[in-house]
Structure 1
């Protein structure tokens, strides 16, 4: 299986990925091609995206190496953080912080 990644978006067709990359004004290196041929590689991709690195798989006596399968730039742009991007309006950020503070106080 081959999938393409452009700025946190995943595509099944290279033409769609390239069109998206061009619409964002990114260089050709903005498209990452990821080939997955086995279940171990799929698990490695998912572990890499979750930032888990290498995970021992005891049953099969193999190591699923996530970062080796996933280009570093794909892992970086796929990370989920609590830091909102610049495009999120400040009033939404403050509202989110206020709601989370209330949840923490209630617990």
Structure 2
């Protein structure tokens, strides 16, 4: 192999590894959203969610444009989860909640 082809192969491997990580993250997010009743691919719920990677291999997840009612549902769920976590933490410290 020439140095150029070796560098190209390494760059492709780096890009593919980043894309694989991003796809895994997108899949896990899609599963978590499904638990909340939010369907990925549904234009009225969450139309697009894809894994991407830069040429440097940095993984990213493209969320697409998400309808406001879906975002509100997600925010409410996250606020509730944080509140429950805070209550558990306070109970663990011996405080009454």
**Common fold, TM-score beyond 0.5?**
no
- Which is strand-richer, 1 or 2? 1
**Larger of the two Rg values belongs to structure:** 2
Query: What is the TM-score of this pair, normalised by structure 2?
Result: 0.29
> Which structure is richer in relative contact order (CA contacts within 8 A, separation 6 or more)?
2
- Which is helix-richer, 1 or 2? 2
